Chain A
């Protein structure tokens, strides 16, 4: 697998994670039950953090490719 392809896959995974995060956030915003809020706190937010980490990893890889880092 080439480096750009790998980077695209990382970014796709980040997009999927943020989509799941948005779905869970929407549930809380529409009907904020304690269970929904707990799932948001302990599942959705970590997913968003993982997505952010993946984005940073992809950005760093891009900068290294361009020899800016």
Chain B
């Protein structure tokens, strides 16, 4: 999804480091596609040899490579790429119900909390996922399971608009980044409520909203 407004920021991109050879994800994607092509070629090779009624005893090696070894490598590459890609903003935006949120996120004129974090790169990548998953392995697993539920509800149409967050937004997600920041800890406005913020008795977004724009009914498919 492209940024909503064509400002200078979208026209000028930061220069890449000298000797840039792409990201790990791009390399995994490339290797994965290469392996798929190799695997299909091997499978066709074995298939046509079988069609010619060649003896099976001369094909076991090829069979083990084509049906056993290379597919496992393809599976590993695809899993790694899919897992990485499923956390990106474009993955979240691929469901139409998310369009208003992603459009606002990428709108440099928007003053919502999400857009402020995005346009100033307070979070470098995977902005949706970073704020909507808890830290650590448990957070990742919970987020992936929740994502599975989202895919199910989206494809079966079992959701209502405007969509709402499943549970109250926990302060721990904000504090994961801000919690040890000196600017945050020494902020005069935070001094008094700091223990309550840390304990989750006062919500960060009560004062720092709106986080996202209001969703209209027509956002539904």
Contacts and interface: CB of A to CB of B under 8 A. Distances in A.
Q: Do A and B come from one complex?
A: yes
Contacts of B94: 33-35
B36 A25 contact: yes
Contacts of A58: 63
The interface residues of chain B, by DSSP majority, are classed as helix
A34 B63 contact: no
Contacts of B75: 21, 25, 44-45, 48
Contact of B78 (A19, A29, A52): A29
A62 B67 contact: no
Given A15-B43, A25-B78, A28-B82, A35 B67 contact: no
Chain B: interface size category: 35 or more
Contact of A19 (B43, B60, B154): B43
B155 interface: yes
Interface string A1-39: 000100110011011001101100110111011111110
A38 B151 CA distance: 8
Interface of A: 4, 7-8, 11-12, 14-15, 18-19, 21-22, 25-26, 28-30, 32-38, 40-41, 44-45, 48, 51-52, 55, 58-59, 62
B86 to A, nearest CB: 5
B40 A22 contact: yes
B36 A29 contact: yes
A34 B150 contact: yes
Contacts, number: 103
Contacts of B155: 35
Contacts of A11: 50, 56, 63, 67
Contacts of B63: 11, 55, 58
A31 to B, nearest CB: 9
A29 B32 contact: yes
Contacts of B95: 34
Interface in B71-85: 71-72, 74-75, 77-79, 81-83, 85
Contacts of B79: 40-41, 45
B148 A38 contact: yes
Contacts of A52: 67-68, 71
Contacts of A14: 67
A34 B147 contact: yes
Contacts of B148: 38
